[in-house]
Amino acid sequence: MIKTKVLHVTYDMRIGGTEMVIKNIIEGSDTTKLDMQIFCIEEPLGPWGEELQQNGIPIHSQNRKDGFDTSLIGAIRKVVKEQNIDVLHCHQYTPWVYGVLAAIGLKAKVIFTEHGRFYPDSSSWKRRFINPVLAFFTAHITAISKATKQALVDFEFLKEKNIEVIYNGIEPLPKASPEALKTLRSSLKIPDEDMILGTVARLDPIKNQKMMIDAFSEVLKEQPNTSLIIVGDGELMDALQSQVKELGITDKVIFTGYITKPGKHIQLFDIFLLSSLSEGTSMTLLEAMSVGVPCVVTDAGGNGEVVCDSVSGVVVSNDSKLAFSDAVTTVLSNVELRESFSTKSTSRFEEFFFVRVMTKTYETIFRPQNSTLNS
């Protein structure tokens, strides 16, 4: 059988949402039909890139120069020709620009996937003219959520009919044993009587952990036997720790720092929290749902598509401390509601966000005959 050769073009393969999608596509696809490679336009590759290389996935890279780096077009084009690439799958906007220009005149068809947007979103007059041209040379455009798709229409001037939504998919977290969770709880010095709230995200203004902590201080007034675990690191670590100290709740908030595989921590949570101002599709949110952890999230980006409000969790208005704290308090105080959310979260994950659902869809798009240019 002749394999379809796919080259993923991305920034790098450090640890992040886009990189996880690429990794999952590569590891979850049918290797008898597809041959995958990666081209990174920035260096270093990152740990996931190194891991994939060790597992036999070819990775090419060239660190792009400041401004528009025309040499990068030639570097990508060279790989496409030498490796006889059939599909150029470009992840995010800048890799798409370079990928399209590199593939013009070659047999390789271009796919563009938008993974998320900056906050606040913006546009420019240049893109109004450039993007329709890029789209003309693109066989397929996909977005990871309906919200992301709408942003491509509103800010990138792409036609709605030409954009397909393909939700991110992951493998469910491996189940942790009760003994392992008990040991972890003990190591974190969480009282036996406490319910546990938790989040896993980089400590960045866009994730809005400041609002989450303010909301948690309100939750403690109604539910004093509650602890909050914040997994992650970033520029706001010192500021958030100072905020917790000023609120007088240092004994109730645990900062773990960055953890490579936080699956056990997620399974320790009674409720998973996500307070983002902007979000594509949160991988840690999907991980929480995969093991039936109820979720309270803000209505940012794709959050409201991942969590079905009042069915598999609660979706509240963006950046509202009171709405967030009220939702958390309600879920904490109702064991039947938590159990219902847990069951519905797992079933929703399996239907929409399991890795095989995503990879099957991309495999269909990768097929040589599936090449409809946008009009």
Summarised one tens digit per residue, pLDDT across range 42-53 is: 999 999 999 999
Asked, for residue 64, whether it belongs to a domain, the answer is yes
Asked, for residue 375, whether it belongs to a domain, the answer is no
Asked, for residue 240, whether it belongs to a domain, the answer is yes
The model's confidence at residue 93, banded by pLDDT at 50, 70 and 90, is very high
Contact 18, 115 (CB under 8 A): yes
DSSP 205: G
Asked, for residue 276, whether it belongs to a domain, the answer is yes
The overall average pLDDT reported for the chain is 95
CATH number at residue 98: 3.40.50.2000
Asked, for residue 285, whether it belongs to a domain, the answer is yes
Instruction: Please return the burial class of 72, using the count of CB atoms within 10 Å of its CB with bins 0-12, 13-18 and 19+.
Output: buried
Cα–Cα distance, 290 to 11 (Å, whole number)? 28
For residues 189-204, give the mean pLDDT.
Answer: 97
Asked, for residue 257, whether it belongs to a domain, the answer is yes
Whether residues 183 and 159 share a domain: the answer is no
Contact 292, 345 (CB under 8 A): yes
Q: Is the pLDDT of residue 373 over 50?
A: no
The model's confidence at residue 122, banded by pLDDT at 50, 70 and 90, is confident
Question: Strand, coil or helix: what is 347?
Answer: helix
Return the closest-CA partner of residue 297 out of 281, 315, 317, 271. Answer: 315
Q: Is the pLDDT of residue 260 over 90?
A: no
pTM as predicted: 0.88
pLDDT of residue 191: 96
Whether residues 83 and 206 share a domain: the answer is no
Structural domains in the chain (count): 2
Q: Which residues, 6+ apart, have CB-to-CB distance to 338 below 8 Å? A: 270, 271, 294, 331, 332
**What's the CA dihedral at 101, 104, 107, 112 to 10 degrees?**
40
pLDDT digits (tens, 9 = 90+) for 287-324: 999 999 999 999 998 999 999 999 999 999 999 999 99
pLDDT of residue 116: 83
Asked, for residue 63, whether it belongs to a domain, the answer is yes
Whether residues 144 and 209 share a domain: the answer is no
The model's confidence at residue 375, banded by pLDDT at 50, 70 and 90, is very low
pLDDT digits (tens, 9 = 90+) for 15-43: 888 999 999 999 999 999 999 999 999 99
Whether residues 125 and 241 share a domain: the answer is no
Asked, for residue 247, whether it belongs to a domain, the answer is yes
Contact 335, 195 (CB under 8 A): no
Whether residues 46 and 151 share a domain: the answer is yes
Whether residues 144 and 282 share a domain: the answer is no
Whether residues 186 and 308 share a domain: the answer is yes
Whether residues 221 and 347 share a domain: the answer is yes
358-361, long-range: CB within 8 Å, 24+ apart, which pairs?
358/21, 358/24, 358/25, 358/28, 358/166, 358/167, 358/168, 358/169, 359/24, 359/25, 359/28, 359/29, 359/169, 361/166
pLDDT digits (tens, 9 = 90+) for 145-181: 999 999 999 999 999 999 999 999 999 999 999 999 9
Q: Is the pLDDT of residue 115 over 60?
A: yes
Q: Is the pLDDT of residue 369 over 80?
A: no
Domain hosting 308: range is 178-353
